[in-house]
Amino acid sequence: MKIGLRIFLGYFLIVALAAWLLARVFIAEVKPGVRQAMEDTLVDSANVLAELATDDLMAGRINDGNFARRVKALRGRDLGAEIWGFDKRAANYRLYVTDARGIVVFDSTGRDVGKDYSRWNDVYLTLRGRYGARSTRSDPNDPNSTVMHVAAPIRDGDRIIGVLTIAKPNRSIAPFIERSQAVVTRWGIVLMGVALLVGLVAAWWLSRQLGGLRRYAHAVTAGERATLPKSAGEFADLGNALETMRARLEGKQYVEQYVHTLTHEMKSPLAAIRGSAELLEQAGGDSPMDEADRARFAASIRAQSERLAQMIDKMLALAAVEHRQRLDNPESVDVAGIAREAAAQCALRLSQRGQRVEVMADDGSLEVSGDAFLLRQALVNLIDNAADFSPQGGTIELQYSHRAGRLHIEVRDRGAGIPGYAVSRVFERFYSLARPDNGSRSSGLGLCFVAEVAQLHGGSAALVNREGGGAVASLDLPLR
């Protein structure tokens, strides 16, 4: 499971737990709190009415006296009240009075007069001088039919002579609780949605940051050119640390690899130089060396020394290109200009073999974004390579053109072409084919340098056989 999904699921679990706790708090606190407030009001009302009923109860006219008439008249009164958006047209109290034995002597509904209520908690506790209240279902099978009963003592001095109880259905406050519950639920859903959206965005952002760093690490591990992704905060610090670590590790490995490779490649020319030098040293005395052999061995030493110097120069150039992850300051490069400069740079060497470079352009105003020196050196390498395999007096063609928004450069020769077994290896480092005129080999770094320069500029290099004989080396680069 991806880390972004794990973060989101964890965040979702926290939000869901918070929503569940909110619901539990509402059920456990809000509903009982409303009922407690109603009970407090009933306590005040019961005690006030108990004082008003005292005279009629002591006079024995509690069921038909003034108190009873006023209470019964309440049933016909239109209250005309509006409480927080809810209309209240009639009172929903039930009022009853019991004597000192717990027998009902007055009931505002008239249904239970004469019944014994002495065992109900409201009456039982009040007659014993304690606070009496109860909540009882009017319908045993309906949990929502509970009625709250709150009692107050009727006193004659210090003696309790009766009990007045006010009963009010709990469902009378249900609309207020339901509306509060709906408001809390609605805003809870909104807040939960916002929290989940924030969690989703945060998880996406974290996953994106980590994903960019992970792809960067994989690219570096695979030896690809990789640009450090843009990050923020601690991820930027982590990215910079990875970049520093990569640079140091690659630098160490790069040096080790190049020292090993250079040492291996230098063995062959050094052995030739050593052998020629030993033969020259042995010449003389009784076995003098003729002038032709002496000249041949001296030429061998010079040629191998030049090969070593060329190998070192090209390896340094290739190392500089390979080690770069990007072009630091790309500039606008005129393709026609670097093509002419590359041809001019190779002209002297080509003239010694009777060869020449012909520059052809489909469009003379093409520009690319990059490093002019590297691109020019890449063209020089392609021309040199073509010259090595071209016959004496041959013509090398350098042509550049515009193809679907990209620059296409070709260097063509009429040499022997590329053997089939070598087509896939010509851009490998140190891979070189024998030159047709003398069988010598180059450093094997020129075409590798060309491929690295092309990749550094966001393009590619290729070398294929040409119809009618010879080879075509090409560069494909994005235009500016």
Please check the confidence at residue 125 and state whether its pLDDT lies above 80. Answer: yes
What pLDDT is recorded for position 171?
Answer: 81
Cut 0.75: pTM above it: no
In Å, how far are 20, 68, 95 from 192, measured between CA atoms? 11, 54, 46
Residue 95 is inside which H or E element, if any? Answer: strand 94-99
Which residues, in sequence order, are bridge partners of residue 149?
A: 134, 167
Q: Are 297 and 281 in contact (CB under 8 A)?
A: no
Share of the chain above pLDDT 90, in %: 18
Q: Per-residue pLDDT averaged across 458-474, rounded?
A: 88
Amino acid identity of 250? E
Amino acid identity of 229? P
Closest by CA to 398, choosing from 360, 362, 432, 448, is 360
CA atoms of 345 and 446, how far apart (whole Å): 16
Which residues, in sequence order, are bridge partners of residue 478?
A: 406
Q: Per-residue pLDDT averaged across 184-196, rounded?
A: 79
What pLDDT is recorded for position 316?
Answer: 63
Most confident of 85-89, 107-111, 204-208: 107-111
Q: Are 358 and 323 in contact (CB under 8 A)?
A: no
* Per-residue pLDDT reduced to its tens digit, 192-216: 788 778 877 877 777 777 777 777 7
Q: Could you tell me the two tokens for 305? A: 């020394």
CA atoms of 122 and 96, how far apart (whole Å): 11
In Å, how far are 50, 154, 167, 180, 320 from 42, measured between CA atoms? 12, 16, 8, 22, 92
CA atoms of 64 and 60, how far apart (whole Å): 9
CATH topology of domain 329-480: Heat Shock Protein 90 (3.30.565)
* Per-residue pLDDT reduced to its tens digit, 91-100: 788 899 999 9
What pLDDT is recorded for position 141?
Answer: 87
Q: Could you tell me the two tokens for 401? A: 């053109």
* Per-residue pLDDT reduced to its tens digit, 132-152: 999 998 888 888 888 999 999
Hey, is 432 helix, strand or coil?
coil
Say which residue, 42 or 275, is predicted with more confidence.
Answer: 42
CA atoms of 24 and 184, how far apart (whole Å): 12
Least confident of 53-57, 290-294, 373-377, 465-469: 290-294
Q: CATH classification of 40-178 is 3.40.50.9100, yes or no?
A: no
What pLDDT is recorded for position 106?
Answer: 94
What pLDDT is recorded for position 107?
Answer: 93
Say which residue, 242 or 318, is predicted with more confidence.
Answer: 242
Annotated domain spans of the chain: 40-178, 329-480
CA atoms of 131 and 121, how far apart (whole Å): 9
Taking the CB of residue 64, how many other CB atoms lie within 10 A of it?
11
* Per-residue pLDDT reduced to its tens digit, 63-76: 989 999 998 888 77
* Per-residue pLDDT reduced to its tens digit, 381-429: 888 888 888 888 888 999 888 888 888 989 999 888 888 888 888 888 7
CA atoms of 160 and 124, how far apart (whole Å): 12
Please check the confidence at residue 221 and state whether its pLDDT lies above 70. Answer: no
What pLDDT is recorded for position 13?
Answer: 79
Please check the confidence at residue 351 and state whether its pLDDT lies above 70. Answer: yes
CA atoms of 306 and 455, how far apart (whole Å): 29
Q: What is the CA radius of gyration of the chain?
A: 51
Q: Compute the mean pLDDT over every residue in the chain, rounded to the nearest whole number.
A: 79
What pLDDT is recorded for position 121?
Answer: 93
What pLDDT is recorded for position 458?
Answer: 84
What pLDDT is recorded for position 251?
Answer: 47
Query: Residue 29, exposed/middle/buried by CB under 10 A (0-12, 13-18, 19+)?
Result: exposed
Which residues, in sequence order, are bridge partners of residue 370?
A: 331
Please check the confidence at residue 252 and state whether its pLDDT lies above 60. Answer: no
CA atoms of 449 and 429, how far apart (whole Å): 9
Q: Are 45 and 164 in contact (CB under 8 A)?
A: no
Please check the confidence at residue 364 and state whether its pLDDT lies above 80. Answer: no
Please check the confidence at residue 41 and state whether its pLDDT lies above 80. Answer: yes
What pLDDT is recorded for position 437?
Answer: 65
Q: pLDDT band for 254, please (50, 70, 90 cuts).
A: very low
* Per-residue pLDDT reduced to its tens digit, 296-328: 777 777 767 766 776 666 566 556 555 555 666
Amino acid identity of 264? H
Q: pLDDT band for 439, please (50, 70, 90 cuts).
A: low
